[in-house]
Amino acid sequence: MEDLNPPATLGEIGLQRFAPYLMNRIMGRYNDSIQKTLAEGGLTTAKLRTLAVLTSHNGLMINELGVYCVIEQSTMSRTLAAMMDDGLVRREEDENDSRARRIYITEQGRAVFDQFWPAMGAASEGMFEGIDEGERETFVTTLQKILGNVRQNPF
Amino acid sequence: MEDLNPPATLGEIGLQRFAPYLMNRIMGRYNDSIQKTLAEGGLTTAKLRTLAVLTSHNGLMINELGVYCVIEQSTMSRTLAAMMDDGLVRREEDENDSRARRIYITEQGRAVFDQFWPAMGAASEGMFEGIDEGERETFVTTLQKILGNVRQNPF
């Protein structure tokens, strides 16, 4: 029975070595700092995430967009409706399925995202201060593996 | 002017290599899976985090607890009031400052946390499936550095 390895308790692991705790703290700060910039510019977190995701994955379906943005479908639909009214995104019929709709960022949407990107980019850069390129790349590679482990969608 | 290095755009970095995006996706999944277990057991995320933090840092001040739990003060105060009513935590006068109060987990609080820890621990372990011990330790070390960069509190 020697190889029986009972799971460690949180007290044994220690909060400072518990990855979900560290990530929640980090993302709490990141999202707070973004939120401050957003409030000044009259955008919501959901809208900014939508613009950010469409910047690199233009033409997603609404449900895909919700996964990428980590926003639940009802909020996602409301957000997109408001963004279409504001001319930040547009909806188009899918080429192969006339019942499906794809979402595209507009030129105006890109212009708005470009205004907010410096704050997002700076918040991200600020995380890695004093962390060299190699460690940063290793970190991102591990994050990609973790996302591969936990995601319920194929993307 | 050759060393002038303009910041990359998100399109250039790519969403899949943008650390805040990856961490938001990962923590969205983690928090969702915890939430499911909590709903079944009649606890909230705020209550579980409070129990988890006190398990390794017993006797924190309310404001410190809010930082560790990534919960804003008004929610934290409401959460603690409910937890005291339920006998999960107790409040004690600080030894050195009679106006200050410290929060301690009770035996009952520990028993409740012990019921939920397996789900939290499993969600955390699930993240690291197929990731070896060395890579995991490097990852946690980088997370600690990042938290050191972004936190506004000394702890």
Token pair for residue B69? 């739990």
Q: B interface mutation test: which of A56, A113, A124, A131 has the most B CBs within 10 A?
A: A56
pTM of the model: 0.92
**Residue B36 in contact with partner chain A when CB distance is under 8 A:** no
Residues of A in contact with B136 (CB under 8 A): 19, 142
Per-residue pLDDT band at B1 (split at 50, 70, 90): very low
Given A28, A140, A149, which is nearest B129 (Cβ)? A149
Contact between B59 and B104 under an 8 Å Cβ cutoff? The reply is yes
The chain-wide mean pLDDT, for chain A, equals 93
Query: What are the per-10-residue average pLDDT scores of chain A (155 residues)?
Result: 66 93 96 89 93 95 95 95 98 92 97 94 96 98 98 88
3-state secondary structure of B103: strand
Contact between B91 and A115 under an 8 Å Cβ cutoff? The reply is no
Q: Could you please report the per-residue DSSP string of A60-122?
A: EEHHHHHHHHT--HHHHHHHHHHHHHTTSEEEEE-SS-TT-EEEEE-HHHHHHHHHHHHHHHH
Q: Phi/psi at B103 (nearest 5 deg)?
A: -110, 130
- d(Cα A93, Cα A84) in Å, to the nearest integer? 15
**Does the beta-carbon distance from B11 to A55 stay under 8 Å?**
yes
Q: Phi/psi at A106 (nearest 5 deg)?
A: -95, 170
**Residue B115 in contact with partner chain A when CB distance is under 8 A:** no
Residues of B in contact with A11 (CB under 8 A): 55-56
Query: Closest Cα partner for B24 from A46, A79, A80?
Result: A46
Q: Which of residues 56-85 of B touch A (CB under 8 A)?
A: 56-57, 68, 70
